[in-house]
Amino acid sequence: MPPTLISPVPAAPADEADPRGLPFTPRGPVSAAVLEHLVDGTPSGHTGLADAAVLASADIERDDDLQLALFALYASAYGSFRALRADLEWDPALIATRRIIEDAFEASLRRSVSLPELPAATADAVARALFAMTGAEGGPSLSRHLARKATVEQAHEFLVHRTVYTLREADPHSWAIPRLTGRPKAALVEIQSDEYGAGRPERMHAALFARAVRSAGLTDTYGAYIDDVPAVTLASHNTMSMFGLNRRLVGAIVGHLAAFEMTSSIPNRLYAEGLRRLGFGDDVCEYFDEHVEADAVHEQIAGRDLAGALAEDRPDLLADIVFGAAACLEVDDRVGRHMLDRWSRGQSSLRTEDER
């Protein structure tokens, strides 16, 4: 039997979480108005609300209302929730609101993310630079904590945070496929083919993670834990969605994927070690085991054949490739630091009732 679920609040059915038929609820006036329009088709003044909220926000990267609104707008493009009307995907008012929030979000990231000196626009130089960025020693390690010290409660919380992206794994980066040509396109398709199970739906990485979540005693319904995760977790997913959905940011989504793959293999080995230490079985650990080998291969393809080749073909995208990689490392590190900070104080990393 898997360890007993303790920390996360059991996910409520969608109609109990929100009368709109969504498994999560608004976090403020902007997200409430956006969701009302996306579900009911009722224009609700969200563009003006978003404009005012962006100007008033102390930190858009940690703003619950704005990050949830942006998550919902991106979810409409992904088709993540049936309650979001498909005919509103390109509604001009919703797109205007999305542009206001994501322009401010991108500007904030460009200010807050530190960049190294740009390498030469060659495949070798870019690959070396990316490996240097991803191999740099950081602060406390979430994966080492899971491997050596985490409790069962913390392991469950870790999985809850991961549901936001990993139940839709690979989708944000796939937006780049039609926007690339030649060597970078072939490299990305090679990586994504593995991510999607190479033709075997049961081997899709999202399906492997869904099985892990179920076996750990959680629900694999997408979005069921949105109400439980903080803005930094939503911001991590929103970063890659923003890079993927905007054609002008194709360099950033390529850099993001390169850094993502380059920082995956060793942490996933440690996650699997920690989960087994806590008594979880192979049905939970298989997802992480899969990434130890797969991403050791992917990191080479992503660094040289994808990001490096794109920089050679499109030197004008070099700065964004490096920015995308740096943003991936910084934003995901914030999620890890949030969890470790809360746990070090004996607190849950999930949102409390007072934070809702």
Query: pLDDT by residue (tens digit) across 297-344?
Result: 889 999 999 999 999 999 999 999 999 999 999 999 999 999 999 999
* pLDDT at position 9 over 50: no
DSSP 8-state symbol, 54: H
Q: What is the pLDDT of residue 140?
A: 77
Provide the residue type at 123 as one letter.
A
Work out the pLDDT band at 179, boundaries 50, 70, 90.
Answer: very high
pLDDT digits (tens, 9 = 90+) for 106-141: 999 999 999 999 999 999 999 999 999 999 766 679
Coil/strand/helix, residue 83:
coil
pLDDT at 4 over 60: no
Q: What does the mean pLDDT of the chain come to?
A: 93
Q: Dump the DSSP string for 130-162.
A: HHHHHHS--SS-HHHHHHHT--HHHHHHHHHHH
Tell which residue, 152, 145, 153, 166, has the closest CA to residue 270.
145
Rounded to an integer, the average pLDDT of 158-185 is 98
Structure tokens at 173: 């980066």
Q: Report the distance separating Cα 216 and Cα 219, nearest Å.
A: 9
Residue 160's Cβ-count burial label (10 Å; 0-12, 13-18, 19+) is buried
Region 72-94 average pLDDT: 97
Q: Please choose, from the candidates 308, 259, 294, 226, the residue with its C-alpha nearest in 3D space to the C-alpha of residue 14.
A: 226
State pLDDT tens for residues 235-250.
999 999 999 999 999 9
For 253-276, what is each residue's pLDDT tens digit?
Answer: 999 999 999 998 899 999 999 999
User: Looking up tokens 């590190």, which residue turns up?
Assistant: 333
The pLDDT score that the predictor gives to residue 118 is: 98
**What was the pLDDT predicted at 280?**
98
pLDDT band at 3 (very low <50, low <70, confident <90, very high): low
Is the pTM for the entire model greater than 0.85?
A: yes
Contact by Cβ (8 Å): 3, 215: no
